[in-house]
Structure 1
Amino acid sequence: MQRVCIVAGGPENLLPDLREYDEKGTQWAGVDKGTVYLVNSGIMPQEAFGDFDSITLVEKDIIERKASHIHIYQREKDQTDLEIAVDWALSQSPKELLLFGITGGRMDHALVNIQLLCKSINTKTQMVLIDKQNRIQMFSPGSYTVEKDSAKKYISFLPFSEKVRGLTLEGFKYSLDNMHIEPGSTLCISNELNFSIGTFSFTNGILIMVRSSD
């Protein structure tokens, strides 16, 4: 499977145009009200997950008519509906897992949803959190290529682990050579690429990359 896209129930105004990601072979899943967002975008979800306590009876009827498979859970459980959907998606071993409707609203949900990205560490799935302004990914040690995106020109790096060691940035406005960064450091905020392609690498830790528009 090439791509799975999950749409959760965060504020709808923060969603990008979902149709831009509706490539051939993409499998779509909605989580609670995110399933309604999918239908409103003209995309028919193959899967729907949730307790569906945040939707109206009319919206629930729409989901029951439009979604191919519906997974209903009790409100009281040990995992959020989104985590259940992410675990299902990763079990399909897609090349890409894109998450929408994750940010905005409650801060505790936004923070833990970003942490869900660590589930893709040491897998072959590229997991990306996307909203109208940001694109967020998490990386294990290695060397990576970054291409310039005029729509999201700002690139920031934040340590997710206790420390990230050996961080090197090449082709960036502010380059780095074998630096160690710790949580709370603002050293790697709001960088930009000098050229069409840049690279970043590090030797130890887990690193978050955020690409943002102004």
Structure 2
Amino acid sequence: MIIHIVGGGPSDCIPSFRRYDGEEVQWIGVDRGVWNLLRAGIRPVKAFGDFDSLDSAELSHVQTALELDIWPAEKDKTDMEIALDWAVQRDAELIRLFGATGGRLDHLFGNVQLLVKYINKRIEMVDKQNIITVHLPGTYTIFANEYPYVSFVPISLDVTGLTLKGFKYPLTNCHIPLGSTLCISNELIQSSGTFSFTDGILMMIRSKDLGGDV
């Protein structure tokens, strides 16, 4: 099972839902993300949020179409975190977050923190130009795809032992301190490559320039 969570981020940052749909996929709407799913002809299995981003007509339409899990505006978790908490209990093999980037930067950084909270789960944050993942120490293989640029950003004080193979700019056992831009905008030069490191928490961002099918 794959779970896709759609938040209320700007719709012009969100790729086509149909590209990611399938029989094994369950969709979850978060706040305005519910409205965007319904407009795309997709009925989510769950809908979470305070729904303060919907006007009265939109909210009435959504309430007619779905049973909503409504939360107060003042609470200790974001709407996205509530939805993600629910999703991780479903033992999904992959969770993707849409509508989690663009717009307000506090929402973006809050959603990155959720990737760290559930770092042991396979979670991707996806928009039209980027796929963001967060990793613990280990060895990982990635494959060339439509996102040609690969950046690595430490989100702990230090990342040690970083080794990149199959990249335009390889590294061997490199120390990357917090604040470093050494590993921004690399590229695979083979059909696949590996990255590995021995300590710290590392964010990988795969990016592309806009244009063509998104």
TM-score over 0.5 for the alignment? yes
Q: Which residue of 1 aligns with 2:3?
A: 4
Regions of 4+ moved over 3 Å: none
Deviation of the 1:61 alpha carbon = 2.2
Deviation of the 1:63 alpha carbon = 1.7
Q: Which residue of 1 aligns with 2:79?
A: 81
Taking the aligned partners of 1:79 and 1:168, their CA distance within structure 2 comes to 36
Deviation of the 1:119 alpha carbon = 2.3
The one of 56, 78, 92 equivalent to 1:94 is 92
Taking the aligned partners of 1:82 and 1:48, their CA distance within structure 2 comes to 11
| Letter aligned with residue 63 of structure 1 | V
| Letter aligned with residue 106 of structure 1 | R
The one of 177, 201, 211 equivalent to 2:172 is 177
Alignment of 1:135 with 2:134, yes or no, is no
Deviation sequence 1:17-47 (CA, Å, 0-9, x none): 0111111121111111000010111111110
8 Å Cα contact 1:45/1:66 also seen in 2: no
Paired residue total: 209
Taking the aligned partners of 1:135 and 1:180, their CA distance within structure 2 comes to 24
After superposition, residues 4-43 of structure 1 pair within 5 angstroms as 4-43=3-42
Percent of aligned positions that are identical: 51
Taking the aligned partners of 2:111 and 2:176, their CA distance within structure 1 comes to 23
Q: Which residue of 1 aligns with 2:150?
A: 155
In structure 1, list runs of 5 or more residues that go unmatched: none
| Letter aligned with residue 187 of structure 1 | L
Deviation of the 1:182 alpha carbon = 1.1
Give TM-score, length-normalised by structure 1: 0.95
* Distance change (3 Å), C-alpha of 1:116 and 1:141: same
Deviation of the 1:75 alpha carbon = 0.6
| Letter aligned with residue 138 of structure 2 | G
Taking the aligned partners of 1:171 and 1:179, their CA distance within structure 2 comes to 16
Alignment of 1:145 with 2:141, yes or no, is yes
In structure 2, list runs of 5 or more residues that go unmatched: 210-214
Taking the aligned partners of 1:88 and 1:48, their CA distance within structure 2 comes to 11
- Which stretch of the first structure deviates more once superposed, 168-177 or 37-46? 37-46
8 Å Cα contact 1:137/1:208 also seen in 2: yes
Q: Which residue of 1 aligns with 2:109?
A: 111
Give TM-score, length-normalised by structure 2: 0.95
Deviation of the 1:120 alpha carbon = 2.3
The one of 194, 204, 209 equivalent to 1:209 is 204
Taking the aligned partners of 1:191 and 1:209, their CA distance within structure 2 comes to 11
| Letter aligned with residue 64 of structure 2 | R
